[in-house]
Structure 1
Amino acid sequence: MESKSRPTAADIAKLAGVGVATVDRVLNGRAPVRQETIDRVKGAAEQLGYHALPLIKRRATARIANVRLGFVLQKGADPFYQNVAAALRREFSSRVDVSGKVEIVFVDDISASSLGKNIVGLGTKTDAVACVAIEHPLVVEAVDELKLRRKSVFTLLSEISASGVTGYIGLDSRKVGRTGAFIISKMARAQGRIATLVGSHRYRGQELSEIGFRSYFREMGEEARLLETIVNLDDPEVAREVTTSLLDRHADLAAIYDAGGGRDGIIQAIRAHSSGQRPIVVCNDLTGATRSALIDGIITCVLCLPVEAFARAAIDEMIASITGVRAVAPNRTLPFDVIFAENLPAKSESSFEG
């Protein structure tokens, strides 16, 4: 009587509807495999009585190795992005379900062509990419190219319109802008001009913050107090020059809302200005400079991304997109912190300050 042949990896692959190479990856843990695929391979092995079923079962619950996550951040010298990068590395290293590598690229030249090249370049050597990017056809094209390569791409802090985007992780920027407007309306003097600064109109997050800020004053019937929005390129030196000019030209300057970066330049300009003017200032992110400025009364309020929670959410969504352990959230918005000098956390307590 002829004995029945023992099932092979090819038999498992056929029944599971995957390639033999995928079965090999499940068996040997050589690369990330979606949880759904692992379950199908395990089910086929159980059905056929595959001799390596115990190994497959261990792999199904084992730590996933060789996961590669890529992040395209901006302004490597900016303390905020350094804080974000450090939080991302801490979060990934603390994970018990995966191991691998986080690669972070800082882009100082935030032109669309430079961002697009960095997004594609990083995407070709990682399993998933997350980026802080401007809204531009070249950036959209880069994201859509990675989608064609079956790579997950997430936007951080500022959304873009590319159909290839897997999900967004950040704040509700319109709420941030309206909160800034609410604070200024309650704290600034009743008369006087109000300045709004953005890094670039191509950041949808900053644009939405500006829209929210202006819509609040429009509803209050005070839109006439708002000066034309000024672009500071998220550059401290440009922001310093812009703020100095505002103080020179508007003796009645009541408030400044900075929807983007460049906050260090605003602080420097107010400290150094001969008039001694102290407009209400609302900006983003708690850093060493903004902490000191809050204490000194140069800055009134800081609207903060909770960096540790943000890093956790980003890593969670990226891993989910790779492993398929759950559906990816297309829009993961986090609550933001509203910090005054009176509720300034101690440095040891802060989860969003480096």
Structure 2
Amino acid sequence: MAAKKVTLAEIARQAQVGIATVDRVLNNRAPVRPGTERKVLETARRLGFNLEQSHYRLVAGKSAVSLKMGFILLRESHSFYHLLSEALQQHAAPYHHSQQAPIFIHHDINAIEHTVAAIEQLSEQVDVIGLVALDNPLIRHAVEQAVARGVQVFTLFSDLSAPGRTGYIGMDNQKMGRTAAWAIDRMSRPDGDIGIIIGDNRFMCQETCEISFRSYLREQGKGRRVLEPVLGHEQQQQAFAVTERLLQQYPALTALYAPCGGVEGIIDALRQYGRQQEVMLVCHGPVQGGELALIDGSVDVMLSQRLDGLATAVIRTFVNAALQTPGGFISALQPFDIITKENL
């Protein structure tokens, strides 16, 4: 007599979880709490379900795979990247041997040669790289060289036009730009200028946000003037300076869109000039002191990334890619939250 086939429903019943949870665990579809994941896998093994090798490792109390990870991020002086580094460190640690931690290298946005050197260094030390960088020919070349050595390279937040990269993990920047434009179109005064502050136009994420922002407003056909973008170089001090110039040169300024780092400087400039109630600010987040800025009206809408969920998705994508046969480009788009002071 043939053995009875073990169904997801039977595993779910005995593990006392939903069928969807069993499906997420066994097919690596989405993150599940470690305790729940272990319970599902132990139940599946006891019932005779044919687990993947990585699942047997989890049941034995080990990580799904031993994987050396390296990250190249912007400076930790940016509050966003400091918090992100902590979250990535926490989620990546279980996949490393106890004496070998994930490697983090931080760089300035325009330090092209430093970024190239970091890619070359990590290519000799890790299995997979998570990279935040400008779309520069030297950086693209370094990525292709790393891939040729067998290292998987994922772009984080901002993609690169490097054909060999393994995948992209981050936001849908077209949606973010159009969402920002929708908010400004619906909520700001219709008779003023709209400013845009970006970090660098070689950040593909910010370029996409700007294009999508302008596209939405163009579609509305209301003739609103959108100024040429100014560069804050992802630095708080520089963002303050360019915001100050905008406020001085364009007294009819009615809204600002900031899909960049250094937003704290924009907020400081609006407060110093007493314009935080007159100029609508839509920015990306999280931002240090962002809740207070929303409460006092310095920020009207924040399109915020979920850092812990993002870190979980990054590590899970790395691991899944390592377990699978190399295939096509991997796109792991992440959700973002629309935050105002009323839904804090």
Q: TM-score, normalised by structure 2?
A: 0.78
Cα separation, 2, equivalents of 1:260 and 1:109: 12
Cα separation, 1, equivalents of 2:126 and 2:275: 53
Aligned partner of residue 144 in structure 2, secondary structure: helix
Worse-superposed segment, 134-143 or 268-277? 268-277
| Contact kept in structure 2, 1:317 and 1:329, CA below 8 Å | no
Assess, with a 3 A threshold, how the Cα gap between structure 1 residues 154 and 253 changes in structure 2: closer, same or farther.
same
Cα separation, 1, equivalents of 2:279 and 2:222: 17
Where do 1:27-176 residues align within 5 Å? Answer: 61-62=56-57, 63=62, 66-93=66-93, 101-108=101-108, 110-176=110-176
Cα separation, 1, equivalents of 2:185 and 2:75: 32
Aligned partner of residue 289 in structure 2, secondary structure: helix
Cα separation, 1, equivalents of 2:186 and 2:94: 42
What code does the residue aligned with 1:279 have? V
Assess, with a 3 A threshold, how the Cα gap between structure 1 residues 262 and 191 changes in structure 2: closer, same or farther.
same
Aligned to 1:309: 309
Worse-superposed segment, 103-112 or 152-161? 103-112
Aligned to 2:216: 216
CA shift, 1:116, in A, is 1.4
What code does the residue aligned with 1:258 have? A
Aligned partner of residue 125 in structure 1, secondary structure: coil
Aligned to 2:30: none
What code does the residue aligned with 1:339 have? I
Assess, with a 3 A threshold, how the Cα gap between structure 1 residues 223 and 116 changes in structure 2: closer, same or farther.
farther
Aligned to 1:298: 298
Structure with bigger gyration radius: 1
Unaligned runs of 5+ in 1: 1-56, 345-354
RMSD, aligned CA: 2.4
Cα separation, 2, equivalents of 1:223 and 1:217: 8
| Contact kept in structure 1, 2:199 and 2:260, CA below 8 Å | yes
What code does the residue aligned with 2:103 have? E
Cα separation, 2, equivalents of 1:222 and 1:308: 39
Cα separation, 2, equivalents of 1:239 and 1:222: 29
CA shift, 1:223, in A, is 4.8
Q: Give aligned-pair identity as a percent.
A: 32
Assess, with a 3 A threshold, how the Cα gap between structure 1 residues 291 and 123 changes in structure 2: closer, same or farther.
farther
CA shift, 1:147, in A, is 1.0
Q: Does 1:331 align with 2:326?
A: no
Paired residues in the alignment total 287
Unaligned runs of 5+ in 2: 1-51
Assess, with a 3 A threshold, how the Cα gap between structure 1 residues 188 and 59 changes in structure 2: closer, same or farther.
closer
Assess, with a 3 A threshold, how the Cα gap between structure 1 residues 285 and 261 changes in structure 2: closer, same or farther.
same
Assess, with a 3 A threshold, how the Cα gap between structure 1 residues 199 and 112 changes in structure 2: closer, same or farther.
same
Aligned to 1:283: 283
Residues 298-319 of structure 1 show CA distances to partners (whole Å, capped at 9, x for unaligned) of 1101101111221111111212
What code does the residue aligned with 2:198 have? V
Cα separation, 1, equivalents of 2:275 and 2:184: 21
Cα separation, 2, equivalents of 1:286 and 1:60: 34
Worse-superposed segment, 117-126 or 293-302? 117-126
Q: Does 1:241 align with 2:236?
A: no
Residues 69-125 of structure 1 show CA distances to partners (whole Å, capped at 9, x for unaligned) of 001110210110011111112222466x98763111111253222211112212210
Which stretches of structure 1, 4 residues or more, deviate above 6 A after TM superposition? 57-60, 325-329
